[in-house]
Amino acid sequence: MERLGDAGAELPEYSLVRRLLEDQSEVDVEGKHIAKDNHAISPTSLQNPSDPDATYRKKAEKGHIGYVANVVQTFNNDGAAVITDYSFEQNTHSDSEFCKEAIGTIAESGEATPDEKVTLISDGAFASSDNSALAKENNIVLVTTSLTGEKPPMVFADFVIDEEKKEVTQCPAGNTPVRQSHNETTDTYRIVMEKNQCANCPHRKECRAKLLKKGDVVNVSTKKVERAKAAAEMSTEELAAFRNARNAVEGIPSVLRRRYSVDDMPVFGTMKSKLLFGFKICAMNFKKLVKYARDKSAHLTDQSIPREQCV
């Protein structure tokens, strides 16, 4: 790099080496390159010279390199289902961003109207106050369920969170935390209330407040607050129905991994990977269409045969 400077910038190999060095090291006061601390390395740093677009993401305590996809499936009460939309992005793309894009796509399609609302069911990781507000503006009912289908403690719906400042401003009893901290990785708040403020609070058991020497501590996650708000607006039966629908959609990633080997696609780069992933989605939809046509044909055949012949 000292010898070539910017003269070798047109060579892809040279650009990758330069990017690698900039991602993994920093220059000290003496002008020497020293290795960065692991936590200082960006998720968008070079992961593989064969695939410069690939990024790093840590989810559920596991590291993942590559890309991330989101699938939207539309279904009716008769069980017919088809994948109507998909997104394929770098691994740093969040679930909340995918949800926002899906809401935008549905809004642009004109399917959702004041008289005919569309229900969008997703996992709890897609929940956020911004997404809920955007869905409501576009006549979309956003339901973020857990796979267990159990309702979270309803008291969490009354926690007030300032998304911009990233802080809890009020608890269900109307009290303000004296201090707090926010974990960006888990999007969880550790709030400290005044000493013994939670001792006689009727919500203490649901909030699971811990009475410590210097104050009362409560852990609040954005996901739990959003799920509680969504669950408060529906009955247990409705939540169970949404849970079953959510579980059915959860099978799609499993099929894509087991039958279509999306984790081992023989291409590199965002565009090529996205294109091949799209072909696999088309293959899934084609199989769904064939199965639906066969089932429909068999049903019509059964109806056309006189009962005497069946006997």
Domain locations along the chain: 12-41, 62-151+226-296, 157-225
pLDDT tens-digit profile of 136-173?
899 998 887 654 445 667 888 889 988 888 899 999 98
- pLDDT interval class at 19 (50, 70, 90): very high
Give me the sheet containing 62-75, strands edge to edge: 55-59, 62-75, 81-90
pLDDT tens-digit profile of 81-131?
889 999 999 998 988 899 999 999 999 988 888 888 888 888 777 877 788
Residue 50, classed as helix, strand or coil, is: coil
User: For 238-264, b where at least 16 C-beta lie within 10 A, e where not — what string?
Assistant: ebebbbebbeebeebeeebeeebebee
pLDDT for the residue numbered 149: 46
Q: How far apart are the first and last CA of the chain?
A: 86
Q: What DSSP string describes 144-175? A: EE-TT-PPPPGGGGG-EEETTTTEEEE-TTS-
Answer whether 73's CB lies under 8 Å from 102's CB. no
pLDDT tens-digit profile of 256-302?
999 999 999 999 999 999 999 999 999 999 998 998 888 888 777 76
Answer whether 192's CB lies under 8 Å from 178's CB. yes
Cβ neighbour number for residue 70 with a 10 Å cutoff: 19
